[in-house]
């Protein structure tokens, strides 16, 4: 007779997480591996004729990292653009979101109408990025309302070509990303702050800490795990930046390819000639960079708040 | 209250389902046409749709924009995949890709055999390397210089097409007039690429040679040199060929004298000029300009996998050989049809004239230009090479980058778009 050992609930745990793993393997792991596989092949379409797949070893990667006539390596330049665009948008995004999250959760301020504000700041995220970008394209074009306003009010002598100036194109992209994502970040960080034991804030108050001290000594250290999570997801999203600059610059990354991002580069390979070889190589490089950067951010941020 | 609301909602749902069922009943055999804008759809609905529906077909258009090659991508997926495509539209810049492939079929075998009234280049364009005809065009697209009469009067002292033509029949004269226009506060053209087709259409070599090397024809170089001069002297605006700033110049308050384009351009793309309030319909006229050329044109191609070959042939015949439809295209839609006999009839008709062109007989002007159209030096890559060259050089003309940088960016774009094309070092 079998000896009764008590009920094991462990298997239910595995069963419940199984759907995620099935979906992950089918829709993430397998495509990732095939992308890696295809990055070693010459595989594209010439007109309507399929060329390849022919195994070419590391040729695609070598091509990606071959400097051009002026000695610059395209993929590094586009990686640089991506990082600049991301940092320009992400720094204000995290700072403002942190500030708003602290205001909204402060029992001292006790702001009224929080639900309203939370909804409003989240709103831009509900608009499709491409529609948002198209809107900015129209607003800031040479014949757009912004230029009309500037010229008619005398603030500018002649029409400003916002989309042909590096700083303004990059700023517009950063501004759009900021507007779309700061609400989302605020809500995440609020959840993080609300998870902190309220007694700690009260105790700090009683001990005579001022708001700044409470923020830096209590809120920030205890918020660190959520903050790290927010920054890493924002960074992965930022490295994959595509729709906003693509639509704003009509896929050209103007001016002089200075707002051309990694994924736009990938898209150029894939769009017309279905060049899975080169596009695969770009995505493999992007994957390695994302993984590396995430590890660095995770380590540095979680270490600094451990003590 | 809630009960009323739920009743209303339920009623709406039931009605919705019922109407969907009715719509399905009316539908017949799907007849799928791929297109990149609504232009042909309008003609199709006006002239052949009813007949097809009566025969039990349910025509449907699948429309994707042409910009950045999107239309070609969607069409390729459909042709190579399982999607139903009966007929699709193709433009001059990439028709060869489809005509020279196994995905289009010999239309003489499905019942389109009479090309005697069609212009020769339209037939040649839709033929493969062996001369097998795969499609027809419903329009012939000699491209003209379209000018503002009032500005021409101010600058040249006349708005008579023959006299304007005499004043603008070479590039030297065109540039001299541009200087006069500038002196009077006008722009000669509104886009840096306005004259691109006039040059590129007269190239003596194709974009890509037999070894897949990218070739810069002398005409392209000439266009760059002229545009440099025009931008430097302020003869032109630096907007793109489809840009809003350029299109705003078509309003009555616009300061631009010349545009270039075929019949489809002024009747489909110059909406601003035809605007009843801000436009200036009637203040326009056409002449050949500095060099003969054509631009674009829409061909109807027969997909090899169509199960509705009869309907495909019926549509094709209607648009090239049905005199009534071709006449309507000219009279009602201001097209220059692909039927020589019909065009000749309008060209000689003293009663016929275009209101938009101040009563000028545009058909007569275009008919005189058709002999100069040649179909040569085309490749399957033309659309994106033309587009890529223009957008990359635009930055140079705006003064954002140097010429070398602009060309380097163009080569990068070519390498990314077409791995098989070899760009100069």
| Interface contact flag, B408 A51, Cβ < 8 Å | no
Residues in chain A: 307
Write the pLDDT tens digit of every residue in B314-361.
Answer: 999 999 999 999 999 998 888 899 999 999 999 999 989 999 999 999
Residues of B whose CB is below 8 A from A278: 416, 419
* Region B144-163 average pLDDT: 94
Contact indicator for B153, B380 with CB cutoff of 8 Å:
no
**Per-residue pLDDT for B186 more than 90?**
yes
- Nearest CB to A74; choose among B98, B412, B425: B412
Measure CA A26 to chain center: 24
Hey, is A85 helix, strand or coil? helix
Write the pLDDT tens digit of every residue in B57-78.
Answer: 999 999 999 888 899 999 999 9
pLDDT, residue B20, reads 47
B247/B270 Cα distance (integer angstroms): 7
- Nearest CB to A272; choose among B67, B69, B245: B69
DSSP bridge pairs for B239: B191
CATH topology of domain A53-304: MetI-like fold (1.10.3720)
DSSP bridge pairs for B32: B60
B63/A125 Cα distance (integer angstroms): 29
B421 to chain A: nearest residue by CA?
A46
Token pair for A119: 């909804």
Please give, rounded to a whole number of angstroms, the shortest distance from the CA of A267 to a CA of chain B.
9
Sequence ranges of the domains in chain A: 53-304
Task: Report the candidate in B180, B186, B291 with the shortest Cα–Cα distance to residue B237.
Answer: B186
Count of CB atoms within 10 A of residue A25's CB? 11
Residues of A whose CB is below 8 A from B67: 250
Contact indicator for B86, B31 with CB cutoff of 8 Å:
yes
Write the pLDDT tens digit of every residue in B260-293.
Answer: 999 999 888 998 999 989 999 999 999 999 999 9
Burial of B63 (0-12, 13-18, 19+ CB in 10 A): middle
Please give, rounded to a whole number of angstroms, the shortest distance from the CA of B298 to a CA of chain A.
19
Size of interface A-B (CB pairs under 8 A): 76
* Region B406-416 average pLDDT: 93
Q: Considering only CA atoms, give the Rg of chain B.
A: 24
B318/B324 Cα distance (integer angstroms): 9
* Region B204-216 average pLDDT: 92
Token pair for A255: 């001016």
Domain B144-293+381-417 sits in CATH 3.40.190.10: yes
DSSP B56: T
In DSSP notation, B62-98 reads: EE---GGGHHHHHHHHHHHSS---SEEEEETTTHHHH
CA angle, residues A115, A116, A121, in degrees to nearest 5: 100
B248 to chain A: nearest residue by CA?
A143
Between A109 and B208, name the one with better pLDDT.
B208
In this prediction, the answer to ipTM > 0.90 reads: no
Residues of chain B within CATH 3.40.190.10 domain(s) are: 2-141+296-348, 144-293+381-417
Task: Report the candidate in B231, B208, B220, B195 with the shortest Cα–Cα distance to residue B395.
Answer: B231
Strands B258-261 and B284-287: unpaired
**Per-residue pLDDT for B25 more than 50?**
no
A64 to chain B: nearest residue by CA?
B416
Please give, rounded to a whole number of angstroms, the shortest distance from the CA of B8 to a CA of chain A.
29
**Per-residue pLDDT for A200 more than 50?**
yes
Hey, is B123 helix, strand or coil? helix
CATH number of B2-141+296-348: 3.40.190.10
pLDDT, residue A109, reads 79
Task: Report the candidate in B136, B125, B107 with the shortest Cα–Cα distance to residue B304.
Answer: B107
Burial of A155 (0-12, 13-18, 19+ CB in 10 A): exposed
Please give, rounded to a whole number of angstroms, the shortest distance from the CA of A124 to a CA of chain B.
26
Distances (CA, A) of B20 to A58, B45, B49, B53, B62: 55, 22, 21, 18, 20
Burial of A11 (0-12, 13-18, 19+ CB in 10 A): exposed
| Interface contact flag, A250 B68, Cβ < 8 Å | yes
Contact indicator for A242, A262 with CB cutoff of 8 Å:
no
pLDDT band at A2 (very low <50, low <70, confident <90, very high): low
**Per-residue pLDDT for A5 more than 70?**
no
Residues in chain B: 425
* Strand ranges across the sheet with B57-63: B57-63, B29-35, B87-91, B298-302, B135-137
pLDDT, residue B3, reads 62
Percent share of chain A, pLDDT over 90: 55
Contact indicator for B375, B299 with CB cutoff of 8 Å:
no
């Amino acid at each position: 007779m079998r000896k009764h050992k008590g009920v094991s609930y462990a298997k239910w745990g595995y069963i419940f997480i199984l759907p995620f793993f099935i979906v992950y393997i089918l829709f993430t792991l397998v495509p990732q591996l095939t992308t890696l596989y295809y990055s070693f092949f010459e595989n594209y379409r010439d007109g309507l004729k399929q060329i390849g797949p022919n195994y070419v070893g590391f040729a695609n990667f070598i091509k990606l990292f071959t400097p051009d006539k002026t000695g610059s390596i395209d993929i590094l330049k586009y990686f640089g653009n991506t990082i600049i665009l991301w940092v320009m948008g992400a720094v204000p995004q995290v700072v403002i979101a942190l500030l708003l999250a602290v205001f909204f959760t402060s029992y001292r301020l006790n702001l009224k109408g929080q639900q309203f504000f939370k909804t409003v700041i989240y709103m831009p995220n509900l608009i499709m990025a491409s529609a948002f970008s198209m809107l900015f394209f129209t607003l800031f074009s040479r014949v757009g309302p912004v230029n009309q306003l500037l010229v008619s009010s005398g603030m500018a002598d002649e029409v400003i070509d916002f989309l042909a100036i590096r700083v303004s194109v990059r700023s517009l992209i950063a501004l759009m990303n900021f507007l779309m994502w700061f609400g989302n970040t605020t809500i995440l960080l609020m959840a993080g702050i609300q998870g902190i034991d309220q007694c700690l804030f009260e105790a700090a108050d009683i001990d005579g800490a001022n708001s700044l001290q409470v923020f830096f000594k209590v809120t920030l250290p205890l918020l660190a795990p959520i903050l790290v999570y927010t920054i890493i997801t924002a960074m992965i999203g930022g490295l994959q930046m595509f729709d906003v600059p693509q639509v704003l610059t009509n896929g050209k990354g103007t001016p002089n390819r200075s707002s051309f991002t990694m994924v736009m580069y990938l898209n150029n390979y894939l769009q017309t000639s279905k060049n899975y070889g080169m596009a695969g190589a770009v995505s493999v490089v992007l994957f390695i960079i994302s993984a590396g950067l995430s590890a660095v951010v995770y380590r540095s941020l979680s270490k600094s708040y451990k003590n | 209250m809630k009960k009323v609301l739920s009743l209303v909602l339920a009623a709406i749902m039931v009605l919705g389902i019922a109407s969907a069922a009715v719509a399905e009943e009316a539908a017949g055999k799907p007849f799928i046409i791929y297109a990149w804008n609504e232009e042909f759809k309008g003609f199709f609905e006006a002239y052949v749709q009813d007949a097809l529906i009566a025969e039990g077909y349910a025509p449907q258009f699948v429309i994707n924009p042409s910009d950045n090659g999107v239309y070609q991508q969607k069409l390729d997926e459909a042709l190579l995949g399982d999607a139903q495509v009966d007929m699709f539209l193709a433009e001059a810049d990439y028709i060869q890709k489809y005509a020279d492939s196994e995905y289009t079929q010999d239309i003489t075998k499905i019942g389109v055999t009479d090309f005697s009234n069609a212009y020769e280049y339209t037939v040649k364009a839709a033929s493969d390397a062996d001369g097998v005809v795969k499609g027809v065009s419903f329009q012939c697209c000699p491209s003209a210089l379209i000018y503002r009469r009032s500005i021409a009067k101010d600058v040249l002292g006349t708005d008579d097409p023959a006299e304007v033509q005499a004043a603008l029949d070479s590039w030297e004269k065109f540039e001299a007039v541009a200087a006069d226009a500038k002196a009077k506060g006008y722009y000669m053209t509104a886009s840096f690429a306005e004259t691109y087709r006039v040059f590129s259409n007269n190239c003596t070599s194709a974009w890509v040679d037999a070894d897949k090397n990218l070739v810069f024809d002398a005409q392209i170089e000439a266009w760059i040199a002229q545009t440099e001069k025009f931008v430097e002297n302020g003869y032109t605006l630096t907007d793109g060929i489809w840009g809003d700033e350029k299109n705003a110049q078509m309003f009555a308050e616009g300061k631009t004298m010349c545009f270039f384009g075929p019949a489809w351009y002024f009747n489909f793309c110059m909406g601003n000029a035809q605007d009843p309030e801000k436009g200036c319909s009637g203040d326009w006229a056409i002449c050949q300009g500095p060099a003969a050329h054509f631009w674009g044109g829409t061909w109807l191609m027969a997909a090899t996998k169509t199960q509705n070959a009869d309907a495909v042939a019926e549509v094709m015949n209607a648009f090239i050989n049905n005199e009534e439809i071709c006449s309507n295209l000219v009279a009602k839609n201001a097209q220059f049809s692909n039927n020589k006999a019909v065009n000749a009839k309008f060209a000689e008709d003293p009663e016929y004239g275009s209101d938009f062109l101040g009563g000028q007989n545009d058909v007569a002007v275009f008919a005189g230009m058709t002999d100069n159209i040649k179909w040569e030096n085309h490749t399957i890559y033309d659309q994106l090479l033309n587009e890529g060259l223009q957008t990359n050089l635009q930055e140079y003309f705006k003064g954002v980058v140097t010429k070398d940088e602009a060309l380097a960016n163009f080569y990068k774009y070519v390498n990314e778009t077409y791995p098989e094309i070899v760009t100069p070092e």
